[in-house]
Chain A
Amino acid sequence: MQSMTNSTDKSQKKKTPKKKGPIRFEAVTPIAVIIGLMIAYFVLFFDSHLRRALEYGMTLANGAEVNIGNLTTSFKGGSLDIRKIEVTDSQEPIKNFVEIGQIYFELSWDALLRAKFVIDEASLNGLQIHTPRKRPGRVIPEEPEDPSKGPSLADQAAKKMFKMAEDQFQSNALGDLAAMLQGQDPTAVLKNIEGELKASLRAKELEQEFKKKEKEWKERLASLPNAKEFEALGQRVGKVQLGGWKSPQDFQNSLKEIQTIIGEADQKIKNIQSTAGSLQGDVGQFEKSIKELDQLAKQDFEDLQKRIKLPSLDVKDLAKNLFGKMIHEKTSNYQKYIEMGRKYMPTKKAEGEKPPPLTPHERANGKNYRFGRPNSYPLFWLKRAQLTSKAENSPFGGEIDGVLKDATSDPVSLGRPTQITFKGDFPGQGIRQVNSQIILDHTKEEARDWFKVGVGSFPISGRSLVESPDVKFGFAKAAGATEVTGELKGGIVNLMSDTKFGQINYLVESPNRDVVDILKGVAQDIPLVTLTAGVQGPFTDLRWDIRSNLAGALQKAFEKQIQAKIEEAKKKLEAFVKGEIEKYRGQLQAEFDKVKGEIEREIAKVKGEAEKAKQMAEGRVQQARDTVGQEEKRKVEAKLAEERKKAEAQTAEERRKAEAKAAEERKKAEKKAQDEGQKALDELKKKIKF
């Protein structure tokens, strides 16, 4: 019984759940497990994953495979140690553009706690260039540009400019000269391109167009008012009654009729003027099109010069053709790095300049505000990096000593430009006295990138300046020395390079003995080749100036032999173009002139008739007005005379009446005076009793 009671108590005890507090103490184990797993991840896998992520990102940025041999991070020290970084050369994937033995740096924990990456001191060791790869590096193919996400208009224009320059330097002037010297007549191919000229094609088009236009013009001319219409107007004017009106209403009617006729004539004149104006404009436009054939002919001439490879003996052109491609290859590579630098090192925004409005689409996007203040950490700041490298008997190694200072993602708030200076030699590759100074000043509104790179000596091997079936010319072996100074400020490039090639072993090959002799002669006279190149202007409109003593020497050597042939070929070419155009143009011009004359005459005739009819109507109006004026005058004068007579008669009658009245008054007064006198006399008589 006792045991039963105990078991019931136990089950009741079991059923009553234990009251749990607000804190979940049982979660300690899962949290500990999670933290343990995280630590395990960082210890075992993080370095490997970071290495792969860096490889992926750097490959995308470089456009060719980047490999990292080993990467080690230290949480405690905040350090990163990267070893054997191989950057594939995208132009030559079997080689590395650069290989770095080790990069080591320690991140400042003070900055890391503020989500910033600040490196007080970094070191870069074991720098080698153009090392061979174990296997060719993967090159990322250029993606077709998406117009909605593609590069800016400026970038597109710059790319276009580089493409134009590339095309410009593709020509092979020396090869063409050699071919001509061999006796080839470049104009021989002209017969195959008859009828392909832009000017002659346009002339043909104009001929067809003219036939349509001629019909149209004639139709428009026919729609103009003709002589009969104006004669009819004249007759109507003649029939209008001028004078002898019985009432003012008659006069008004005549005047109204004439004014209606004048209105009609005016309308017709306006119609003629408008039609004639548009017709003459159209004719003028067509005449302009015919004149434009001259421009097209000029263009055809220039195009044909290129097409038949008519060489130029201009020194500047020769220098461009010889060295342009080589210089262009070097300079076009810079643009990619300039754009990259500007993206990650933004300049100060000009006042009033606001970033484009941002509409977030994906989760966690948005806009990040920066609340900078003086002396605060930027997001990334590499204070100083020591570049040291020893050749250590490696054929690709370099003896380098350099410093990189203040590389930052926010140069504006840091207020310091990035500076890179290094000196070095690559003895294994024969590159000596490399001296470089680079300043990337993005601290102000207008970025200024400046650099000066000098190489005391570098080897050249198998560098073809000209390569064609007719001639191969270049440096089989030479030693070069160069100094390049460049500046990019406000989108304007200013690049100057001064290069000298000495100890030259020229490469001269040609099936033509004369060409070989000329080129060997030039080679003997020019033991030191100087090359001065300048590139100036915005990326969209770069001006190239390339000068070389080699070009001058080649020009002189070829001039005697070939100048006459070139001039002769030019004349032939000019005559060919002229002849092709004249086939169509002469007839077209004659027909056009004839039609134009007809149109102008017809318009003048119609205009004259219209003016004549209008003048006639206006004359009749004046006549009517004059007639009306004379009759009115006569009537008024008659009325005035009658009125005057009436007034005179009335005046005479009134005068007569006044005189009669005055006479009567006078008589009355005289009688009264006489009576009063008599009366006074009688009274006097009575008084004196006479």
Chain B
Amino acid sequence: MTLLLKQFFGFIKLLNSDTGTNQIAAGIACGVILGFTPVLALQSLLVFLLALVFRIQLGAAFLAAFFLKFAAYLLDPMFHQIGVLVLETASLKPLFTTLYHMPIVPFTRFNNTIVMGSGVFTIVMAPFSFLLARFLVKNYRIQIVDRFQATKFWKIVKSTAFYKWYAKYDELYG
């Protein structure tokens, strides 16, 4: 739980800083994949490991996954239809037959309509979700963060002893 909270606070801090735009966008793109695809599949674990190994903002990934899980319930019929379309494509049948009998691959559950449908959808959407997230983060920083930091209220907060103490603490312990 502490680790999770630390990730969320890290995300908020990074979001309000000037750096890490790509990390956040990549995190959101991973979150889209984790959120839309069913958990019990090998590719979800793979995406999770990628997010863990590469410097992707985990807080952004978890938050996006959490909220998109709810949207996934509504989108399941669409994923099912996409899955049916892909899995019933005659030209792909030999490929699927080979994959179905290969070691490890069946654990991806690619033969399930929802797993296949959501997988195809999220992979196609991943670059777009990355670009969209980057655009939104940049705009957020310009439209909201910069304006907020220019307000008198924020200047007062920054001049308080508590803030200075927090800034020092953050500088020392991160």
Determine the chain B residues whose CB is within 8 A of the CB of A367 once the complex forms.
80, 83-84, 112-113
**Cβ contact within 8 Å between A364 and B40:** yes
Determine the chain A residues whose CB is within 8 A of the CB of B8 once the complex forms.
none
Of B94-102, B122-130, B136-144, B147-155, the one contacting chain A is B94-102
User: Which of A23, A361, A371 sits near B96, CB closer than 8 Å?
Assistant: A371
Q: Whose C-beta in chain B lies nearest to the C-beta of A370?
A: B111
Chain B nearest CB: distance from A560 CB in Å? 74
**Cβ contact within 8 Å between B53 and A27:** yes
**Cβ contact within 8 Å between B54 and A24:** yes
Q: Whose C-beta in chain B lies nearest to the C-beta of A112?
A: B103
B162 at the interface (CB under 8 A from A): no
Q: Whose C-beta in chain A lies nearest to the C-beta of B52?
A: A27
Chain A nearest CB: distance from B35 CB in Å? 11
Q: A364-B38, A366-B83 are in contact. Are A23 and B55 (CB under 8 A)?
A: yes
**Cβ contact within 8 Å between B113 and A369:** yes
User: Which of B3, B40, B84, B109 sits near A30, CB closer than 8 Å?
Assistant: B3
CA distance A364 to B113 in the complex (A): 9
Determine the chain B residues whose CB is within 8 A of the CB of A363 once the complex forms.
38, 69, 72-73, 76, 114
CA distance A355 to B170 in the complex (A): 61
Determine the chain B residues whose CB is within 8 A of the CB of A23 once the complex forms.
53-55
B67 at the interface (CB under 8 A from A): no
**Cβ contact within 8 Å between A371 and B93:** yes
CA distance A27 to B52 in the complex (A): 7
CA distance A15 to B52 in the complex (A): 26
User: Which of A31, A113, A364, A365 sits near B52, CB closer than 8 Å?
Assistant: A31
**Cβ contact within 8 Å between B80 and A373:** no
Q: A24-B52, A114-B102, A360-B76 are in contact. Are A15 and B111 (CB under 8 A)?
A: no
**Cβ contact within 8 Å between A114 and B72:** no
**Cβ contact within 8 Å between A371 and B54:** no
CA distance A367 to B115 in the complex (A): 10
Determine the chain B residues whose CB is within 8 A of the CB of A369 once the complex forms.
87-88, 96, 111-113
B107 at the interface (CB under 8 A from A): yes
Determine the chain B residues whose CB is within 8 A of the CB of A114 once the complex forms.
101-103, 106
Q: Whose C-beta in chain B lies nearest to the C-beta of A116?
A: B106
Chain B nearest CB: distance from A80 CB in Å? 19
Taken residue by residue from 31 to 74, chain B's Cβ proximity to chain A (1 for < 8 Å, 0 otherwise) reads as 00000001110000000010011110000000000000100110
Q: Whose C-beta in chain A lies nearest to the C-beta of B73?
A: A363
CA distance A363 to B80 in the complex (A): 11
**Cβ contact within 8 Å between A368 and B53:** no
**Cβ contact within 8 Å between B103 and A20:** no
**Cβ contact within 8 Å between B96 and A360:** no
Size class of the B contact interface (CB-based, 8 Å):
35 or more
Determine the chain B residues whose CB is within 8 A of the CB of A31 once the complex forms.
49, 52-53
Chain B nearest CB: distance from A461 CB in Å? 53
Taken residue by residue from 20 to 46, chain A's Cβ proximity to chain B (1 for < 8 Å, 0 otherwise) reads as 111110010011000000000000000
CA distance A369 to B92 in the complex (A): 13
B5 at the interface (CB under 8 A from A): no
Determine the chain A residues whose CB is within 8 A of the CB of B112 once the complex forms.
364, 366-369
Chain A nearest CB: distance from B127 CB in Å? 18
Q: Whose C-beta in chain A lies nearest to the C-beta of B111?
A: A369
A393 at the interface (CB under 8 A from B): no
Q: Whose C-beta in chain A lies nearest to the C-beta of B92?
A: A371
A91 at the interface (CB under 8 A from B): no
Taken residue by residue from 311 to 335, chain A's Cβ proximity to chain B (1 for < 8 Å, 0 otherwise) reads as 0000000000000000000000000
A376 at the interface (CB under 8 A from B): yes
B104 at the interface (CB under 8 A from A): yes
Chain A nearest CB: distance from B7 CB in Å? 11
**Cβ contact within 8 Å between A22 and B107:** no
Q: A21-B55, A363-B76 are in contact. Are A113 and B104 (CB under 8 A)?
A: yes
> Main SS of the interface on chain A?
loop
Residue of A23, A366, A373 with most chain B CB atoms under a 10 A cut-off? A366
A557 at the interface (CB under 8 A from B): no
Chain B nearest CB: distance from A487 CB in Å? 35
CA distance A511 to B72 in the complex (A): 76
CA distance A364 to B88 in the complex (A): 19
Determine the chain A residues whose CB is within 8 A of the CB of B103 once the complex forms.
110, 113-114
A61 at the interface (CB under 8 A from B): no
Chain B nearest CB: distance from A574 CB in Å? 67
**Cβ contact within 8 Å between A366 and B114:** yes
Chain B nearest CB: distance from A435 CB in Å? 40
Determine the chain B residues whose CB is within 8 A of the CB of A30 once the complex forms.
3, 52
Determine the chain A residues whose CB is within 8 A of the CB of B77 once the complex forms.
359-360
A53 at the interface (CB under 8 A from B): no
Determine the chain A residues whose CB is within 8 A of the CB of B114 once the complex forms.
360, 363-366
A680 at the interface (CB under 8 A from B): no
A157 at the interface (CB under 8 A from B): no
Determine the chain A residues whose CB is within 8 A of the CB of B101 once the complex forms.
114, 371, 373, 376-377
Q: A369-B87, A376-B101 are in contact. Are A20 and B52 (CB under 8 A)?
A: no
**Cβ contact within 8 Å between A368 and B76:** no
Q: Whose C-beta in chain B lies nearest to the C-beta of A379?
A: B106
User: Which of A22, A113, A361, A377 sits near B55, CB closer than 8 Å?
Assistant: A22
Chain B nearest CB: distance from A480 CB in Å? 51
CA distance A110 to B104 in the complex (A): 10
CA distance A24 to B53 in the complex (A): 5
CA distance A23 to B53 in the complex (A): 6
Determine the chain B residues whose CB is within 8 A of the CB of A370 once the complex forms.
100, 111
A115 at the interface (CB under 8 A from B): yes
Q: Whose C-beta in chain B lies nearest to the C-beta of A367?
A: B113
Q: Whose C-beta in chain B lies nearest to the C-beta of A15?
A: B171
Determine the chain B residues whose CB is within 8 A of the CB of A15 once the complex forms.
171
Q: Whose C-beta in chain A lies nearest to the C-beta of B105?
A: A114
Determine the chain B residues whose CB is within 8 A of the CB of A113 once the complex forms.
103-104
**Cβ contact within 8 Å between A115 and B83:** no
**Cβ contact within 8 Å between B54 and A22:** yes
CA distance A268 to B93 in the complex (A): 77
Chain B nearest CB: distance from A38 CB in Å? 11
**Cβ contact within 8 Å between B111 and A368:** yes
Chain B nearest CB: distance from A75 CB in Å? 16
Chain B nearest CB: distance from A475 CB in Å? 57
Determine the chain B residues whose CB is within 8 A of the CB of A358 once the complex forms.
80
Chain B nearest CB: distance from A11 CB in Å? 10
Determine the chain A residues whose CB is within 8 A of the CB of B109 once the complex forms.
368
Chain B nearest CB: distance from A239 CB in Å? 83
Q: Whose C-beta in chain B lies nearest to the C-beta of A27?
A: B52
User: Which of B40, B53, B100 sits near A371, CB closer than 8 Å?
Assistant: B100
CA distance A329 to B162 in the complex (A): 82
CA distance A370 to B40 in the complex (A): 18
Determine the chain A residues whose CB is within 8 A of the CB of B54 once the complex forms.
22-24
Taken residue by residue from 89 to 119, chain A's Cβ proximity to chain B (1 for < 8 Å, 0 otherwise) reads as 0000000000000000000001001111000
CA distance A677 to B32 in the complex (A): 148
CA distance A15 to B96 in the complex (A): 54
Determine the chain B residues whose CB is within 8 A of the CB of A377 once the complex forms.
101
Instruction: List 19 A-B pairs, Cβ < 8 Å.
Output: A15-B171, A24-B52, A24-B53, A27-B52, A110-B103, A114-B101, A115-B106, A361-B76, A364-B112, A366-B113, A366-B114, A367-B80, A367-B112, A367-B113, A369-B88, A369-B113, A370-B100, A373-B97, A373-B101
Beyond A24-B55, A363-B38, A363-B73: 15 further Cβ-contacts under 8 Å? A24-B53, A24-B54, A30-B52, A114-B101, A116-B106, A359-B80, A363-B76, A364-B114, A365-B114, A366-B117, A367-B83, A368-B111, A369-B111, A369-B113, A372-B97
Give the 10 A-B residue pairs with the shortest CB-CB distance, closest first: A366-B114, A113-B103, A115-B106, A371-B100, A364-B38, A366-B113, A371-B97, A369-B111, A367-B113, A369-B87
| Chain B residues close to A by CB (< 8 Å) | 3, 38-40, 49, 52-55, 69, 72-73, 76-77, 79-80, 83-84, 87-88, 93, 96-97, 99-104, 106-107, 109, 111-115, 117, 171
